[in-house]
Chain A
Amino acid sequence: QQQVKQSPQSLIVQKGGISIINCAYENTAFDYFPWYQQFPGKGPALLIAIRPDVSEKKEGRFTISFNKSAKQFSLHIMDSQPGDSATYFCAASMPQAGTALIFGKGTTLSVSS
């Protein structure tokens, strides 16, 4: 019940295309859903995060869509660029301060020019 399942494992998108990464969770007590971006040899960096009181959050070219009833959330990257090539992790946590993030296994995105 603590798992977060992420798909696809890898993704190749043409420059200018839309990248879509999906995650599903089981624990209905999860209340905070961040996405992290990680470049090789670096630590994960927060990209965007959502709480279940909204169904969508947009920041620049990045959008999170959240479906509470289906227990699913997704990351959309519009107008994908070669610089977006990285590994993306979804995560979930309980609402209380100081709780662990439960991560998906990651999606390696390659944007071809």
Chain B
Amino acid sequence: NAGVMQNPRHLVRRRGQEARLRCSPMKGHSHVYWYRQLPEEGLKFMVYLQKENIIDESGMPKERFSAEFPKEGPSILRIQQVVRGDSAAYFCASSRTSGRYQETQYFGPGTRLLVL
């Protein structure tokens, strides 16, 4: 029973390039969340998606960042024209389809993005 999978684990980009981070949720999970962790900081929520829908993107920067979770395939967090301040660990979490109440979010190993 594989957990949440993220790739790549490490990504190096030069300023101005694009970064694509991928997340495959746990089997049976249809909710995906993206969080960003800066050094010495806790995780900050970015976006919450269900299949083909963005449900909450209140934590996503307004420019350069986008996310999708297509009907087939992994969820993708895309950062265009990266800047040094985008250097961070990006974590994906998933939870199962649920009723009314908050379900456990299971985290992947993260993608460490370094912008040179």
Contacts and interface: CB of A to CB of B under 8 A. Distances in A.
Interface of A: 6, 31-32, 34, 36, 41-46, 49, 89, 93-106
Interface residues of B, number: 33
The residue in A36, A46, A101 that gathers the most chain B C-beta atoms within 10 A of its C-beta is A101
A94 B100 CA distance: 11
Query: Which of B59, B91, B105, B109 has the largest number of chain A CB atoms within 10 A?
Result: B105
Interface of B: 4, 6, 31, 33, 35, 40-45, 48, 50, 55-56, 58-59, 91, 93, 95, 98-110
Contact of A98 (B59, B98, B109): B98
Contact of A43 (B100, B101, B109): B109
B99 to A, nearest CB: 7
The interface residues of chain A, by DSSP majority, are classed as loop
